[in-house]
Amino acid sequence: MSIETPAWLNTGVRVMALGDSLTEGWPSTYGGFRFELYRRFIAANLPVNFVGSLTLTSAGLPDPNHEGHGGWSSYELRDGRRSDPEAGNVRTWLAAGHPAVILLLAGTNDVYTTQGDDAIAANLLALVDRIRELAPEAELFVGSTPPLADSYLASRIEHFNTLVQEGLAARMLQDTRLHSVPIHDAVSVNDLANDGVHFRPDGTGNAKLADAWFSAIRSTLERLSTH
């Protein structure tokens, strides 16, 4: 899978896709939902420049940059990994990428920890707060964490999402550049690969993710593109 490079590549709104392996696109090699999202940018004639320190798992994309860190929790995205300090954290990534729009999708790895739902929700909201502190002018779109096939983990995801949405709702009253995106409701366990976590490369899950993101961010991109 590949996309013909548009003439306006890297000339538009700077967009950072930030998160874990779902943002990376694994186990696809073509970019996962980022590939599908870029197709929608082209169809809508919206110049976008993906930014980020990583380019792996993006063989089909003419603009491969992202910040999808496979296996990382919300806490690690915020403060970095002790086992890999050179990989950086949200502070270093935002400083280097200067995004105008941020697409945050995290939380999947958090539910595998022994921490309670309150604690992992607080970790994700702390990541949101750190991003707002570091990039207050950026438009931040926070996707709800997608479902998992395991019934116990799926119930944790649902409770975790409820807690996060409550925290986001309170913050959004004071922050017009903060947005919530119903990613969880856009897909189902039928879209997942055999591992019950990631999206099948040959299925429709990544397209559904892209549709949810695009619906949420299109008006913002159109507004920013006119400046």
Cβ neighbours around 91 below 10 Å, total: 16
CA atoms of 130 and 182, how far apart (whole Å): 21
pLDDT value of position 2: 78
CA atoms of 202 and 75, how far apart (whole Å): 31
Instruction: Report pLDDT digits (tens) over 99-112.
Output: 999 999 999 999 99
For residue 59, give the amino acid letter: A
Question: Contact at 8 Å (CB) between 139 and 106?
Answer: no
Q: Considering Cα of 132, then 138, then 141, then 145, what sign does the dihedral take?
A: negative
**pLDDT tens sequence for the chain (227 residues):** 778 888 888 889 999 999 999 999 999 999 999 999 999 999 999 999 999 999 999 998 999 999 999 999 999 999 999 888 999 999 999 999 999 999 999 999 999 988 999 999 999 999 999 999 999 999 999 999 999 999 999 999 999 999 999 999 999 999 999 999 999 999 999 999 999 999 999 999 999 999 999 999 999 999 998 75
For residue 186, give the amino acid letter: A
Give the predicted TM-score (pTM) of the model: 0.96
